[in-house]
Amino acid sequence: MIKMEKYLRKIGNEIWFTEVDRDNLKLDYRIKDIIYSENSLLQQIMVLDSYDFGRMLVLDGAIQTTALDGYIYNEMIAHIPLNTHPNPKNVLIIGGGDCGAAREVAKYSNIDRIDMVEIDEQVVNVCKDYLPEVSGDLSDPRVNFIFEDGTTFVKDKRDYLYDVIIVDSSDPVGPAVKLYELEFYKDLYANLNKDGLMVCQSESPIFYSETMINIYKHLNSLFPIVKMYMATVPTYPGGFWTFTMGSKKYWKPNPDKFDKDTLYINKEIIKSCFAIPEFIKRLLDMN
């Protein structure tokens, strides 16, 4: 007997998961199987096996990543900053509980340290156990898991700074709200070396343009260089997805240097992903 959770419905013999994006937009996915469903101390965690997207990680009813297209997002959030910084040694990931970003970062043998600060240890354990398509095995000894709120972690002083910081956060609800505030970005700035850079996912330019604009403005008030790039991720409502990079020095990617084994990113994508549609340029006052 299947235990039906919030967000799941049975219609005849079929199980459907509904992602409520907002009042007037709901997305329904037909589910083959509920692989995992538990509450952690912070959020409800589900791994669902869906017909069209394969296994998916769902936190508090919001899809985070799927076996079908998780690589697009994870490659974009990891390789674009790592290709832009000429010699990253210390990398910090904040969030990223599905481990997909860490898996991509670990492809760089020149990186010495990969600190991953995730607030919810249970998300990492569940993804390692039930979502290997996204997490990989992540046995790389350079990945140092730290289970703590990212906003607290960046307040502490360490005897080293980072070259690249990747903010792979969930949407701005619950514990992730503070990851979208100016105060947090100021702390990231302070944790970066003098030629360091950071990137964060900056949401849909169509459905969450206000969040995207706020991130861009915050980063512009701190960093001399701010660049936005884009990818299409079918799992995320609207498909269109933005990433915003704040940099102290480097801004030009080095596509010719790119030599990693990837499914989405290649030299052409690295060159073209910074092309910004006109409506976004207007929203961001870029012209």
Backbone angles phi, psi at 65, to 5 degrees: -160, 155
**Cα-based distances in Å from 77 to 93, 258, 275:** 10, 15, 16
> Hunting for tokens 């289970």 — which residue is that?
147
Q: Does 118 bind ligand SAM (CB under 6 A)?
A: yes
> In angstroms, rounded to a whole number, what is the distance separating the alpha carbons of residues 36 and 93?
25
Residue from 66, 169, 247, 262 in contact with ligand SAM (CB under 6 A): 169
In the bound state with ligand SAM, the residue whose beta carbon lies nearer, of 88 and 95, is: 95
Strand ranges (E), 106-154 = 113-118, 143-147
Residue 60: active-site member: no
Which stretch, 6-14, 93-101, 158-166, 207-215, contacts ligand SAM (CB under 6 A)?
A: 93-101
Which stretch, 5-13, 85-93, 147-155, 223-231, contacts ligand SAM (CB under 6 A)?
A: 147-155
CB 10 → ligand SAM: shortest distance, Å? 26
CB 194 → ligand SAM: shortest distance, Å? 25
Q: Which residues pair with 39 in a beta bridge?
A: 44
Q: Does 199 bind ligand SAM (CB under 6 A)?
A: no
Q: Does 179 bind ligand SAM (CB under 6 A)?
A: yes
Q: Does 201 bind ligand SAM (CB under 6 A)?
A: yes
Which of helix, strand or coil describes residue 210? helix
> In angstroms, rounded to a whole number, what is the distance separating the alpha carbons of residues 199 and 190?
14
In the bound state with ligand SAM, the residue whose beta carbon lies nearer, of 104 and 168, is: 168
Which stretch, 91-99, 106-114, 155-163, 210-218, contacts ligand SAM (CB under 6 A)?
A: 91-99
Q: 254-284 b/e with 16+ CB inside 10 Å = b?
A: eeeebeeebebbeeebbeebbebeeebeebb
Q: Does 95 bind ligand SAM (CB under 6 A)?
A: yes
Residue from 31, 50, 53, 64 in contact with ligand SAM (CB under 6 A): 64
Residue type, 172: P
Which stretch, 14-22, 29-37, 166-174, 259-267, contacts ligand SAM (CB under 6 A)?
A: 166-174
Give the chain's end-to-end CA distance (angstroms, integer). Answer: 58
In the bound state with ligand SAM, the residue whose beta carbon lies nearer, of 90 and 122, is: 122
> In angstroms, rounded to a whole number, what is the distance separating the alpha carbons of residues 249 and 223?
9
In the bound state with ligand SAM, the residue whose beta carbon lies nearer, of 152 and 254, is: 152
Q: Does 176 bind ligand SAM (CB under 6 A)?
A: yes
84: enclosing H helix or E strand: helix 70-84
Q: Does 69 bind ligand SAM (CB under 6 A)?
A: no
Residue type, 214: N
- Tell me the H-state helices in 191-277: 209-222, 267-272
In the bound state with ligand SAM, the residue whose beta carbon lies nearer, of 83 and 201, is: 201
**Catalytic one among 168, 187, 261, 285?**
168
Q: Which residues pair with 16 in a beta bridge?
A: 9, 30
Q: Which positions from 70 through 89 interact with ligand SAM, judged by CB under 6 A?
A: 73
**Do 93 and 169 contact (CB within 8 A), yes or no?**
no
Residues of the shown chain interacting with ligand SAM in the complex, contacts defined by CB under 6 A:
59, 64-65, 73, 94-98, 117-120, 123, 149-151, 168-170, 175-176, 178-179, 201
Active-site residue list: 168
